[in-house]
Each structure stands twice: as C-alpha cells, then as structure tokens.
Structure 1
C-alpha cells in the first residue's frame, strides 16, 4: 500500500533533500524515522530535490508499506521521532501507482529578498547590496511565459532527458516595506533553475541586463550566459499539486 507524506522543513542544517554521502539530508532523516517506527527498512521518494540550505513549507514524498496504516497515528509518531526542523503535516493513502515526483502537476517556489539589513530574517531572505528595479524585473519575468526550454537556467551535467518546462506563474510582489518575494510555478523545475532565474532577474534589476538581453539569455540555451545563482537559504518550496483521483 502506498502513502503520501506532506511535510515541511527548515533546510539550514541539511545538505538538501536527497541522500548525500557527505552530510545529513532530509530524505535520509525521514527514512530513518519511518524505518524506526515501522520496524523495517522504508524507502522514501520525494516530489523533487531541494538543494543544500533550501527550505520547504510543503514537500510531498511517498512510501510503501505492506498493510493499512492509521494515517493520523503515523503523522503523530513521526513528529515525535523527527528533529524540530522537520514536521509532518499529514499522511494520506494513495493509489498503488501514485508517484510523488512523476504525478505532480505543478510545483511552486518562493524566493525572498530583503532590501535592508534585518537580523530576524537573515536565515530566510537574501539581501543584495544594490538597489533593484522590481518593475523591470517583473517585466523580464513575464518573458518566461514565451519559452519552454530553460537550459540556460539548469545546472550542468544533470541526468534529465529534457530541459523543457511550462512556467505558469512568475511574479515579484512586495511583502512589506523592506521585503519582496518572487513566486514561480511550473509543471517541473530543473536543478538550480529557480536560483539561476532569480540571479539573472537581479541583473535586470541592477541595470546590467536589458529585457531583450534577458530574452537572449534564455534563447542562448547556455548556462554561462545567465546570471549567478542566488544563495539557497532564501528559497522555499511552498506547494506541490496532484490530480484528485490519486487519493483513496
């Protein structure tokens, strides 16, 4: 029987979602808790791979178990076993062939930028040292809808078969007087894609890249022509969507 786990985590102390040979990962920590509770080795598959230091307000993962489980009890037990920076919100029974990664219809990320030094959000927002033109950055962001091949924003030498993605939403909005957030939603994301897009939009905001130049970056299909990746600590995975008919 297959189950979806809805969870959140502060990625500060982890080398990303995926199991790594050289450090703690969220996936490994969750698998260890599940295996302890269910008293057998449990494999967990996530909806995606967040990089080192990246957070998730909502991540979805699936696991299999040989009998029916009390989903509320599983969530409660996992929260007792997991460290304070990982929380399970819900466990749901799904169809046997439901897949947390391949069945996701969209994912939504948010990237936070602080326009002044803030001691209380320094772990969750990035502060650039130049003034940014967010109107220009929004104008550039709207050009993302005209393309599907985002090779220019992908980490090099990945194992994916295609660099095509459908971006459904991409917009900068003002959170308060000193903070902005970039929200981007797509059917899938490439490795490092959001951080590379934000880094290139920041070049537009600083006046170092025109709107037409931003288009050319995408059309070049070359990671070297895009801006630097922004730091991971200000990036949050906030939502993952699935068809209703997956759930039992």
Structure 2
C-alpha cells in the first residue's frame, strides 16, 4: 500500500534532502536518510521515501510532501508518534495517510510555494531563519517591482546551477510577491509549477543586488535575454523555506 505525509525540518541540521554517498567518504546525514532510518526502526522494514523536491543544504521546510510503499500493517497515528520520537526534534511528520497507489509526491505536484525572509537590521534570535543584511539599506520598492519580471513562463537556465541532463529548464511562476513584515524585515512569497537547483536563491540574490543599487531595474529581463555579464549574488540558504506543495487532493 502507498502512504503519504507532510513533514517539516530544520534545514541547517542536514546536508540537504537527498540521500548522498560518495566513494571513500562517510555517508552524509540528509533529511531523506534520517527519515528512512527512522521508518526502518519504527516499521522494522526498509522503506524508500520519495519527496516532492530536493531542498539544498541549510534550506528549511514546513510543507514537504513525501510518499512511500509499505506492505505490512501500519497505524498512521502510532507511526507518526514513533517517527517524531526518533528524529531528535529536527524533523516532524504529520497527516500520514494511505493514498492512491499511483500517487507520486514529485510528479503529481501542481504548485510549490517558497518563502524567503530578509532582515535589514542586525538580529541574533532569528538569524538562522533569514538573511541578515545588517544595517544595509535596501530599496524594497525597486525589489518588488523587479520581482514581477519573473512571473510567467521563462527559461531559468541562468538562474540555477547548470545541468547537463537534457531536461527542460522552463518554469512557470505564478506569484513573486514582497511582504513587508515590519520596518526591518520582509518576506518574498514565491509560487510556481517547478523550481530548478538553487533557482530561488539566484532570483532573490539578483533582487538583492538591485535593492542595494548594484544593478538597475530591468536587470532580470537582461539576464533572460542573455544580455548581462556582471557578477551576481547568491542568497544564503537559511532564509529559504519550502512552505507548501499543492496537489489536486492533498
């Protein structure tokens, strides 16, 4: 039987989502490997889990969706409690339930929703959950205006880590909105059908460069048109959260 659940995790505690092994090196601790280990203990059987997407090292999640197959008897509530007790308060799962046998957490996703937080004053308590820019002055109006250039379908090959697998780099963004939380912090709300490796961090980094006056409005369109050669900033991972993944029935 196939099951699915939502999970949230502290990204700074893991080497990204995907299980990784390199020849001659110790196995990295990832969210996927930690969950699979917890499930193998709780269910006394090896379980392979599939997530809706692969978050980078340091990126957090509140609404990651996961599916797995298990042939034995499973009590969802008891299993949730067991997994949450085994993951050292770094991962929490919820809404564990049976689903259709052909449900796929990755390929059935209709929309992915990310949030990115920026602090424009020095902070201590929340610096692990946002980009602390110190006392740097940012033109939020310019950043908000430029963010609209990302909306719609574009080829985001120049806003990601290059890939050589032949797969499409076209993505459709339906929302890229800046919310002013208070006079010293703001949050970007970013929604789209799919995202490439480090795409959100590349986009936010470009808006940051515009907000601090390094580049003018219109830079995003120039990058899409391959008419830009300057160096660009990558936003750090800790400000990014995978907030939700939307499906037709979940």
> What are the ranges of 5 or more consecutive residues in structure 2 without an aligned counterpart?
22-26
2:213 to 196, 207, 212: 207
- Residues 151 and 191 of structure 1: is their aligned pair in 2 closer, same or farther, counting only changes over 3 Å? same
Q: Does the Cα contact within 8 Å between 2:152 and 2:172 map onto a contact in 1? A: no
Aligned structure 1 segments of 4 or more residues deviating by more than 3 angstroms: none
1:163 aligns with 2:169: yes
CA distance in 2, matches of 1:237, 1:199: 17
2:78 is equivalent to residue 83 of structure 1: no
Q: Is the 8 A contact 1:112 1:182 kept in 2?
A: yes
Query: Which of residues 115, 120, 130 is equivalent to 2:120?
Result: 115
Kept in 1: contact 2:152–2:174 (CA 8 A): no
Please say which of residues 177-186 and 71-80 is displaced more in the overlay. 71-80
Residues 169, 14 of structure 1: CA spacing in aligned structure 2 closer, same or farther, 3 A cutoff?
A: same
Aligned to 2:24: none
* CA distance in 2 between partners of 1:58 and 1:220 (Å): 34
Given the two structures, how large is their TM-score scaled by the length of structure 1?
0.93
Structure 1 residue 160, shift from structure 2 partner: 5.9
Q: Deviations over 1:198-225 (max 9, x none)?
A: 0001111112222222211122298x75
- Greater Cα offset, 192-201 or 210-219: 210-219
Report the counterpart of residue 194 of structure 2 in structure 1.
188
Query: What is the CA–CA distance in structure 2 between the aligned matches of 1:99 and 1:118, rounded to whole Å?
Result: 40
Q: Which whole-Å deviations, capped at 9, do the CAs of 1:75-107 have from their partners, x for residues lacking one?
A: 112111221111112202111111000000011
Render the CA deviation track for 1:96-146: whole Å, top value 9, x for unaligned.
111000000011111110011111001111122531111111111111114
* Alpha-carbon separation, structure 2, partners of 1:193 and 1:226: 16
- How far is 1:70 from its partner? 2.2
**8 Å Cα contact 1:217-1:226 kept in structure 2:** no
1:20 CA displacement: 2.0
> Structure 1 residues 189, 67: CA separation in 2 closer, same or farther (over 3 Å shift)?
same
Q: Which runs of 5+ in 1 are unaligned?
A: none
Deviates more, 1:23-32 or 1:203-212: 203-212
Q: Which residue in 1 is equivalent to 2:45?
A: 40
Q: Is the 8 A contact 1:150 1:218 kept in 2?
A: yes
Structure 1 pair 146–47 and aligned structure 2 pair: CA distance change class (3 A): closer
The superposition leaves residues 175-207 of structure 1 with CA deviations (integer Å, 9 ceiling, x where unpaired) of: 122211111000000000000000001111112
Superposed CA deviations along residues 128-173 of structure 1, whole A, max 9, x for unmatched, are 2531111111111111114421111111135361001110100111
Tell me, yes or no, if structure 1 residue 140 matches structure 2 residue 162: no
Q: Secondary structure in 1 aligned to 2:105?
A: coil
User: Which secondary structure state, in structure 2, belongs to the residue aligned with residue 165 of structure 1?
Assistant: strand
User: Partner residue of 2:62?
Assistant: 57
